[in-house]
Amino acid sequence: MAVINRGFGARRRDHDPRLPPGQTLVHDWPVLSAGPTPTIGTDEWAFTITTESGAEHRWDWQQLHELGVEDVVTDIHCVTHWSKLAMAWRGVPVDRLFASVDTHERYVMVHSYGGYTTNVPLADLLGRAWIATEADGAPLTPEHGGPARLLVPHLYFWKSAKWVRGMRMMPTDQPGFWEQNGYHLRGDPWLEERYW
């Protein structure tokens, strides 16, 4: 593509090498959701991992916290071109939930309150993802996915499912909500895997 926009660039932001291609640094935190914001109280909240055998592993709010919440400082990248760098989160590493789960399947469909789904390979969750309960030093607000959302910062942020309620193991990678609606099956920001 050889289109040069004469006169553009005067209001440019500083380029930061920590930004993946096509991303712009923002200092607010945009909200994007396909539908209304669900409201779930922590007293009714539960997270369930379901395996191929039908076994269900369930944690309520307190049980989640008993696994140990840790601090995470990470960059996040939205497919709509905005990124936030060095954002402070708190969450439970997904590994700690899977420690008690027996499965041979390698793919996960993540489910949220309100019906949202997204698919993630298990290898992209272990050691690289959290069930997050706080961001920027405060409990996650409902607009941003509270009481808990998945946090998978190395993939585009639509994979960090808001209002997360569980994971279902699957033998092959199947498209979740946005992946059925034009977005890339994996979503690596460094390869600009935005759309089909």
Partner 1 sequence: MSAPARVDWHVARVVRRTPETGSAVRLVLDVPTWPGNDPGAHLDIRLTAPDGYQASRSYSIASSGPGPEVVLAVDEVPDGEVSPYLVHDLVEGDELEVHGPLGRFFVWHPDESDRSPVQLIAGGSGIVPLYAMAAARESVPDGAPFRLLCSVRTPSDLFFADELGALTATRVDVVHTRAVAPGSTEMPGRLRIDSLAELTAAPSAAPRIYVCGPTPFVEAVTGWLLELGHPPAKIRTERFGGS
Which positions touch partner 1 (CB under 8 A)?
Answer: 1, 3-9, 11-13, 15, 22, 24, 26, 28-38, 80-81, 114-115, 141, 143-144, 178, 181-182, 195-196
Token digits of residue 97: 């939930």
Closer Cβ to partner 1, 53 or 181, answer by number: 181
Nearest approach, Cβ of residue 176 and partner 1 (Å) = 12
Closer Cβ to partner 1, 8 or 127, answer by number: 8
**Side chain identity at 148, as an amino acid letter?**
A
Closer Cβ to partner 1, 83 or 122, answer by number: 83
Closer Cβ to partner 1, 28 or 71, answer by number: 28
Nearest approach, Cβ of residue 168 and partner 1 (Å) = 20
Contacts of 31 (CB under 8 A, 6+ apart): 143, 144
The Cα 9–Cα 20 span in angstroms is 19
Nearest approach, Cβ of residue 193 and partner 1 (Å) = 12
In this structure, what are the phi and psi dihedrals at residue 181, rounded to the nearest 5 degrees? -110, 35
Write down the residue that tokens 């690596």 correspond to: 188
| CA 19 to chain CA mean position, Å | 18
The Cα 143–Cα 145 span in angstroms is 6
Nearest approach, Cβ of residue 150 and partner 1 (Å) = 19
